[in-house]
Structure 1
C-alpha cells in the first residue's frame, strides 16, 4: 500500500474540485429522490472525531451535494451500538454508508447486510471487513515509522540499546496493528522493548494505568522512551510519569496533532505528534460517498488498492502523514492553518512559545 505524497495530494485536490463542479452541474439526479449519506463515527474519546472529522465531512457533503441528507451516529466505542446504528440507517434506506468502524470483525455482518440492500459502504480511516466499496485513510505503516524515527531521535545517545515502553492502540482497531508494525520496523534491533500494552478504547485513563504499572515494574530509570500510539494515550503516559515525579521526562510520541498535545510539545512534555491533514481525508471520503450515492464511477478518485482480511483490491485513497516536533510546529500547523498562535500560545505558554520560535 502506498501513501499519497505532496504531488499526489495536489492531484487529488484537483480531482475533488472536478467532482465538486460535476456535482453542481448535474443537479444531483433531479426526480430520483434525495441521496442520503449515513455517517458512523467510532467514539468521542479521541477529540478529532467530533472536533475535526464530523464538521469537515458535513461541510464537504453540503458543498458537493446540497440536496443530500445526512444521518449521523457516534458509537461511543461500543461495537454493539454501532451495529444497531448501522441497522437503523440500512432500514431507513440510506444511499451510502461512511463507516469509521469500532470493531471490523463485529461489524462484518452489518457490512454484508448493507450489500444485500444495495447500499455501498466506504470505510473511513479504519479498514472495515466485508464487501466494502472503498477505503479512505492515511498510511498507517508510515505513521508508525514516523513515530519510531522520532522516538530514536528524541532518545539521542540512549537510542542505542535503550529501553522503550510501547503504548499501542485498541486491538479491535485495525489501525492499531498497522501503527505498531510500522513503529517496530524502525525500533527493532536498535532499542529494547521493555513492555508493550494495548490501550482499550484509546483512552487516556487506561494509558495512565498501564504507564503507572510499567514505572512500578521497571523503575523510572529504565525507561528511556515511550512509543504512544496517539495523543490521548500520550496524555495518560505523561500524566503517569509526572505523578511518579519522573524528571526529566523521557521522549513520548503521539498522533493526531490534538491542540493539547501541541501545547505539551511546546512545553517540552511530549516530544512529537503525527499530523494527518483531516480536511483532505474528509473531503476525499465525502467525494467517494457522493459518487457512490449517485451510482458514479469512483476510479478517478482512487490512488491505490488495499486488501482487507476478507476483501481483495479495495479501491482506496491513502494520504501521507507528517511528523511534528517543537521545531516544526510553526511551518506545519500554524502556516498550514490548523491552529493559530493564539490558540497554541496560552498566557502560561508564551515563554515556551518564544523559546520555540513561535512568535508573531
Structure 2
C-alpha cells in the first residue's frame, strides 16, 4: 500500500513504480479519474488485475472490478429525505431555497449530486427546489467550506440569507467548516436542515447540542478499503468475490441514513463499533 499525498501526478509516478515490481494485482483509488486513465490503461495492458475503488474512471474498460460506496444511492436517499422533511412546506406551495457544497470534480460528487437531483426532478415539487447559485467546490476541505460560507453570507442579499432553507453537502468535514460560521447565526432564521455524508462521531456530537438546523448524514462502512483489497486478492487468484465471478462489474457498499431519530441506534451499532475500533 502506497500513499501519494494529494496530487494525481504523484499517484501516476508511484503507479509506474508499482508496475515495475510485477505485482499480482493492483488496487487503485484514483485521485482524478481522467488524469489516471492512461496509467490505469497501462495496468490493463500488462494483464495485471486492476481493482478501482471509491472513485471511478468514467467509461473505463478492462479492469477486474470496481468497488465503492453507493454514491448515486446516497443521492437518491438524500432526495427522498428532502421530500419528506419539507413535505408540509411543499404541499403549501413554499419554495425551498438551498446552497450546494460539493467535494470535487470526481465521480463521487457527480453521482451524489445527480442522485439527489434525479429524485427531486421526478417529484411533483421539482420546481419548488431552488439552488441559489452554482455549487461550491470545497475539495473536501473544512477551511474552504468555511471560507465559501463566510463569503456567501457577507455578499448575499440579507433577505435571501434569511430565507435559506437548506444546505446540501457531500461530507461531514464540509459540515464542520460550515458550522463554525453559521452556528448561532440569527440571520439564518429559516435554515432547517443540513445534509452530509460520513457519520463522523465528531460531527454528530455537534448536533447533540444544536437543535436547529438539523443534520441528516449518510454512512457506508470503512471496511470498503479492506473489501477492495479482498476483491484484488480474489481477482489475482482467479477466485470469486461475494459469491460472484469477477467480471469487471461494480460492487456497492450498503448505506445507512442517520438523523436525530436514528443517531443513538447508529452509535450502538456494530458498524459504529467497527469503524472506531479501526480508527483507534
Q: TM-score, normalised by structure 1?
A: 0.65
Give the match for residue 74 of structure 1. Answer: 3
How big is the shift at 1:260?
Answer: 1.4
Question: Which has a greater percent of helix?
Answer: 1
Distance 1:261 1:301, change over 3 A: farther
Distance 1:250 1:211, change over 3 A: farther
Distance 1:236 1:299, change over 3 A: closer
User: Any gaps of 5 or more consecutive residues in structure 1?
Assistant: 1-71, 304-312, 344-360
CA distance in 1, matches of 2:65, 2:79: 29
CA contact (8 A) 1:155 1:225 kept: no
Matched pairs, number: 260
How big is the shift at 1:156?
Answer: 6.0
Give the match for residue 140 of structure 2. Answer: 202
CA contact (8 A) 1:234 1:270 kept: no
Aligned pairs (5 A) from 1:282-301: 282-298=225-241, 300-301=243-244
1:90 maps to 2:19: yes
CA distance in 2, matches of 1:218, 1:183: 27
1:250 maps to 2:192: yes
Give the match for residue 260 of structure 2. Answer: 326
Q: Deviations along 1:66-106, whole A, 9 cap, x unmatched?
A: xxxxxx22232211111112111111222111111101110
User: Any gaps of 5 or more consecutive residues in structure 2?
Assistant: none
CA contact (8 A) 2:25 2:235 kept: yes
CA contact (8 A) 2:163 2:188 kept: no
CA distance in 2, matches of 1:155, 1:76: 41
Distance 1:116 1:245, change over 3 A: same
CA distance in 2, matches of 1:105, 1:221: 40
CA contact (8 A) 1:155 1:251 kept: no
1:260 maps to 2:229: no
CA distance in 1, matches of 2:240, 2:10: 32
Q: TM-score, normalised by structure 2?
A: 0.82
CA distance in 2, matches of 1:318, 1:274: 14
Give the match for residue 222 of structure 1. Answer: 163
